[in-house]
Amino acid sequence: MFRQIVRSPFVASATRSANVSRRAFHASRVAKEHYLDATPEVFERRVIDAEDPNKLVIVDFYADWCGPCKTLTPLLKRVTSDVSETDGQEVDLVTVNTDEQMELAQKYQIRALPTVTAFKGGKPLGHFVGAIPPHQLGETLKTWVASAPPS
């Protein structure tokens, strides 16, 4: 009988000599930020008191049980990470779990999920409710990026 030898990275790393260097990881500064599962404090700091009043901040109000939210949130992460999707402008993403942050959901009158609200200068600029197709999301973001902050 033949025995199959399974090589596991855990076994391999345990048998390496001490002279072999391990791969080092480092973090670089990210141009745009994602604040996932924001608390009221993070929301206040990153959305209401944003450093740049002209920078678009997208807030995704969602819940873990919401099927359309599970489709929309990864799409929002992708398009806000790619400046080609937003006419070269950086866009921050803040996600708010409405089951955990009910006071924020009440303050912004969230009645259906997902609700996506755009902020500039700490003020709501526009919103949409429900999952929308990627091309429509891209066009909506470009419109919001080009808009002036509300007065």
Active site residues: 66, 69
Residues pairing with 92 in the sheet: 57
**Computed from CA positions of residues 141, 127, 32, 55, in that sequence, does the dihedral angle turn out positive or negative?**
positive
Please give the Cα distance from 8 to 19 (Å, whole number): 20
Please give the Cα distance from 141 to 80 (Å, whole number): 9
